[in-house]
Chain A
Amino acid sequence: MDFLFDSIISAILLAVSLDTELLSIVAVSLKVSSSSTLFAGMIGVPLGFFIAFESFKGKQLVITCLNTLLALPTVVIGLFVYALISRRGIFGPFDLLYSQKAIIIGQTMLIIPVVTIFTIAAISRIDERYRKTAMTLGANRLQAACIVMREARFGIVAAVIAAFGRVISEVGISMMLGGNAKGFTRTMTTAMALEYDKGEFTLAIALGFILLFLSFGMNLLFNFFQGRTET
């Protein structure tokens, strides 16, 4: 028990002293996670909007596939992207493996289904009469779609926040595609795994606290936007 207590005290001191290694790890984590969330949002929001708004053959099948992808383990995506960007892969010449870009690609693939499914849910919750009202006021299909999007904005923001929460805490993709290179591709989760292997718990626990703090912040934001959606 003393060991855990001492580790926690040391971790808090480390975090408060703004240790440069700790800050560098947090900065890399935030950078790759923010980038992947941005790209996933750029792809997932319009995709989710299209699926929710349009009627087409196989729509339910597409939604089922996306739901299945939500449960995809990060190591599977790590393996898949590794096969594509390793030297022998079709994107091998771009030399992406063990770079932040590789992590961003993998994480983007991980959360596109999350953003898409949450966007579909947010759009589907919007009363059909919003679209009809926009149309009777003279809006074309695109303008009516923008009105629906606007009404679903809080739900869509919540989708993006949920996706960020997923990537900031994942370890498989960052480890397999980033390689955990210090100061370069070392994220909070990969650093924690490494410190654990080394038997050094202080940094791991400090990072754990920061991760928990970020998750708490994300959840607060998520609940705020979900609350706005319900009102």
Chain B
Amino acid sequence: MLYLISRLTKVYGSRTVLDIESLEIMEKKIYALLGPNGSGKTTFLKILGFLDLPTSGNVQYCTRPVRFLESQLQPLRKEVVMVNQHPILFTTTVYRNLEFGLRIRKISKKKCAYIIDEALDMVGMRHFSQAPAHRLSGGETQRVALARALALSPQVILCDEPTSSVDPENQGAIINLLRQINDEKQISLIFTTHNQSQASMLAHHTLFLDHGKLGTTSYDNLFAAVASRKDENSSLCKIQNTVELVVPGDRDGEIRLMIDPEKIDILETRKKDHGENCFRGNIVQITKEGGKIRIGVDSEIYFIIRMPADDYTRRKPMVGDNMAFRIPRKSIKLLS
């Protein structure tokens, strides 16, 4: 067990930004942390990286209880390295950037040189060794920051949105690199992202944070809507002023809702749409995620439907097909 977390909270003023009841994070695995902006992802990552203190709760790291005192945290930081969304490289050469953490760990110059060359090789930046680090592009900076973390052989690398500030070419390189780090070096990885596909592609486990709380559902089909009371048991929600959806509960005003993509029912295409929450749309994307098939449907707004692989083989939906589907009330979760 890498981390064992219980009743963890982080409060800024009167605002609770993190409230995690319990969570176990396993060693040598990749975890994706999904969630909208302001959901507490970065705060959580900072606490896991021992760079921020929780307001309350317990954290165990490698079965040892963590005492959030500066004197106790500094040795732990030598085992956990965080790479920021926009990483900072010191205004010196790439080589010296990588050397910094190694020298702190009192590693000899000769061994430093070997480790640095190996780390830069892994990220494909060895020829930049003597380049001024602060003049690199966004993608190169991200790769050097990963090499700097990698050179320290930590137990865990925490990456805050590792691909958000780089071009598509570098995004692919960074994703492959993260996978390689986990496969070859057996380093645990925890990264935040907004991209569900990226999370599914890369991570062994996906965690979803919303308003600081861990959710069991995925990040797909998260919508802001305006609700108006329909009857005692249901409300009518308007999403993006176009799609109307009947949701359980007596609600009024602005709400956020999430539709579980695995609980959406696919209807026979030829059948006439009828009943509550029935929609029709064109399939625009089909991807494989683990044992499931993820289908993107454009139906005025973009819905994600996830179906088992055998169901997909039976139905054989294709990109461009028109698909009818129903969103049952039980698949809708009101968030606020």
Measured CB to CB, the residues of A under 8 A from B are 127, 129-130, 132-141, 143, 147, 150-151
Contacts and interface: CB of A to CB of B under 8 A. Distances in A.
Interface string B84-116: 101110110000000011001100000000000
Given A138-B101, A138-B104, A133 B152 contact: no
Nearest to A136: B82
B90 A130 contact: yes
Given A132-B51, A143-B104, A137 B88 contact: no
A137 B51 contact: no
Interface residue tally on B, bucketed by range: 20 to 34
Contacts of B82: 132, 136
Contacts of B100: 134, 137, 139, 147
12 contacts: A127-B88, A129-B88, A133-B88, A133-B90, A134-B100, A136-B51, A136-B81, A137-B149, A138-B105, A139-B101, A147-B90, A151-B91
A68 to B, nearest CB: 32
B148 A137 contact: yes
Contacts of B49: 136
B70 A141 contact: yes
Contacts of A137: 77, 81, 100-101, 104, 148-149, 152
Contacts of A129: 84, 86, 88
Given A129-B84, A141-B70, A143-B104, A136 B77 contact: yes
Contacts of A139: 100-101, 104
Interface of B: 49, 51, 70, 74, 77-78, 80-82, 84, 86-88, 90-91, 100-101, 104-105, 148-149, 152
Nearest to B83: A136
A89 to B, nearest CB: 44
A interface: dominant SS = helix
A135 B51 CA distance: 8
Nearest to B49: A136
Contacts of A141: 70
B78 A138 contact: yes
B84 A140 contact: no
B82 to A, nearest CB: 4
Contacts of B77: 135-138
A141 B90 CA distance: 17
B78 A133 contact: no
B90 to A, nearest CB: 7
A23 to B, nearest CB: 41
A135 B100 CA distance: 11
B25 to A, nearest CB: 18
Contacts of B101: 137-139
A141 B82 CA distance: 17
Contacts of B148: 137
Nearest to B100: A137
A129 B105 CA distance: 21
Contact of B90 (A136, A143, A150): A150
A109 B70 CA distance: 36
A231 B91 CA distance: 10
Contacts of B149: 137
**10 A-B pairs closest in CB distance:** A137-B101, A138-B78, A129-B88, A136-B82, A133-B88, A138-B104, A140-B74, A138-B101, A138-B77, A136-B81
A130 to B, nearest CB: 6
Interface-central residue, B78, B86, B88, by most chain A CB under 10 Å: B88
A127 B152 CA distance: 23
Given A138-B152, A140-B74, A141-B70, A133 B104 contact: no
Nearest to B158: A136
Nearest to A128: B88
B151 to A, nearest CB: 10
Given A137-B149, A140-B74, 9 more contacts: A134-B100, A135-B51, A135-B74, A136-B51, A137-B81, A137-B148, A137-B152, A150-B91, A151-B90
